[in-house]
């Protein structure tokens, strides 16, 4: 595990799931951790666990969909920690909706949080990192960024935008001492991403196949330690991504087939099929 003694980290979406696990792992590695999300009560629980390792940790409740939140948060972290060494842009929301049911407002909502909020916060802390000649900018993407899943067009686009920004940024920051990383998780359970939400369909994925949030936290610590740009969780998803790049027609045909099978299985088990299979 990377040693982060004397370093500071800011983790968004730290009130549950992957963000809480990443925050605790960073604190266990020695970093003072700043936590942010909307729910103060849940952040306080995570903060108490982080402070067992890193007593100087802090929390700042904020709604990152608010365009002004990034500057306020970056200023608070600067005042408390004297700068941010590790920024983990993890806050995110799902959008499980067949494209025929999707509105432009849905697409904008998910892009605002999953992409624009991360960009805003990153641009707010970046000058300090460059001035200090060090830093790690981490994005929690998704395999959806590379492997467009069914019924998640708007979500996948938000993660693809985030990944594309991160790729270009990794090149732009060459020579500055600031490192850029993206972790692309597949199915992770024990988080709240698959909880029922108004307007979201039931997930097509079989949740019994999920990995725990600590696997993503380990991947984040691994990227910070080895300096690599991208890592999938589980690792073997990189073969799915390279297979798709080699033959996108076969990939789209395969996902269509998978979707038809899953809708059939969900209907057979008494669940509600989100959309009728194509005629
Ligand atoms: N679970 C998976 O299978 C999976 C797979 C790939 C990628 N991911 C990504 O991993 C990240 C974390 O997801 P998770 O699975 O851990 O789900 P989660 O438990 O629902 O966590 C989402 C976090 O984002 C925060 N958040 C949501 N809206 C916010 C807002 N407007 N302002 C500030 N914070 C906000 C939530 O806190 P509050 O509600 O307290 O604000 C929560 O801490 C997301 O970016 C997700 O897309 C998850």
Residue 137, in any domain of the structure? yes
CATH of the domain at 103: 3.40.50.720
Q: Is residue 140 in a domain?
A: yes
Domain contains 265: no
Residue among 50, 91, 147 whose CB has most ligand 1 atoms within 8 A, to mutate: 91
Buried-state track 188-208, b at ≥16 Cβ within 10 A, e below 16: bbbbebbeeeeebbebbbeee
CA-to-CA separations, 43 to 57, 89, 113, 209, 211, in angstroms, rounded = 11, 16, 18, 28, 23
Kindly give the distance from the C-alpha atom of residue 90 to the centroid of ligand 1, in angstroms, as a whole number. 6
- pLDDT tens for the chain, 279 residues: list them: 568 999 999 999 999 999 999 999 999 999 999 999 999 999 999 999 999 999 999 999 999 999 999 999 999 999 999 999 999 999 999 999 999 999 999 999 999 999 999 999 999 999 999 999 999 999 999 999 999 999 999 999 999 999 999 999 999 999 999 999 999 999 999 999 999 999 999 999 999 999 999 999 999 999 999 999 999 999 999 999 999 999 999 999 999 999 999 999 988 888 765 555 443
275 found inside a domain: no
Instruction: Kindly report the protein residue whose alpha carbon is nearest to atom 2 of ligand 1.
Output: 188
**Nearest to residue 277, comparing CAs of 263, 258, 257, 265?**
263
Any domain includes 16: yes
Instruction: Judge whether 268 lies within some domain.
Output: no
Residue 194 within a domain: yes
Provide the residue range defining the domain that includes 214.
8-247
Q: Is 17 in the pocket of ligand 1 (CB under 6 A)?
A: yes
* 232 catalytic per annotation: no
Residue 256 maps to a domain = no
20 Cα–ligand 1 center, Å: 10
If one counts the domains in the chain, the total is 1
Residues in the chain, how many? 279
Cα of 18 vs centre of ligand 1, distance in Å, is 7
CB of 197 within 6 A of ligand 1: the answer is no
Could you tell me the strand order of the sheet in which 58-59 lies? 58-59, 32-36, 8-12, 86-89, 135-140, 178-185, 230-233
């Amino acid at each position: 595990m990377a040693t982060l003694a004397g370093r500071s980290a800011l983790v968004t979406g730290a009130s549950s799931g992957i963000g809480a696990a990443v925050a605790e792992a960073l604190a266990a590695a020695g970093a003072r951790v700043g936590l942010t999300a909307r729910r103060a009560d849940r952040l306080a629980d995570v903060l108490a666990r982080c402070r067992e390792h890193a007593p100087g940790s802090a929390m700042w409740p904020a709604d990152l969909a608010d365009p002004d939140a990034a500057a306020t948060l970056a200023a608070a972290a600067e005042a408390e920690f004297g700068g941010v060494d590790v920024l983990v842009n993890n806050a995110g929301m799902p959008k499980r909706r067949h494209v025929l049911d999707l509105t432009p407002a849905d697409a904008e909502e998910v892009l605002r949080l999953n992409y624009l909020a991360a960009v805003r916060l990153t641009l707010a802390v970046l000058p300090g990192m460059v001035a200090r000649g060090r830093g790690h900018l981490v994005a929690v993407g998704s395999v959806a960024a590379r492997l467009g899943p069914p019924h998640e067009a708007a979500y996948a686009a938000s993660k693809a935008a985030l990944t594309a920004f991160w790729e270009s940024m990794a090149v732009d920051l060459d020579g500055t001492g600031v490192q850029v990383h993206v972790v692309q998780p597949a199915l992770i359970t024990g988080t709240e991403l698959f909880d029922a939400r108004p307007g979201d369909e039931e997930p097509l994925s079989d949740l019994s196949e999920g990995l725990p949030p600590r696997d993503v936290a380990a991947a984040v610590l691994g990227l910070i330690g080895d300096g690599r740009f991208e890592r999938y969780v589980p690792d073997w998803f990189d073969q799915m991504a390279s297979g798709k790049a080699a033959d996108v027609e076969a990939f789209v045909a395969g996902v269509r087939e998978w979707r038809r099978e899953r809708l059939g299985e969900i209907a057979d088990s008494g669940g509600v099929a989100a959309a009728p299979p194509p005629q």
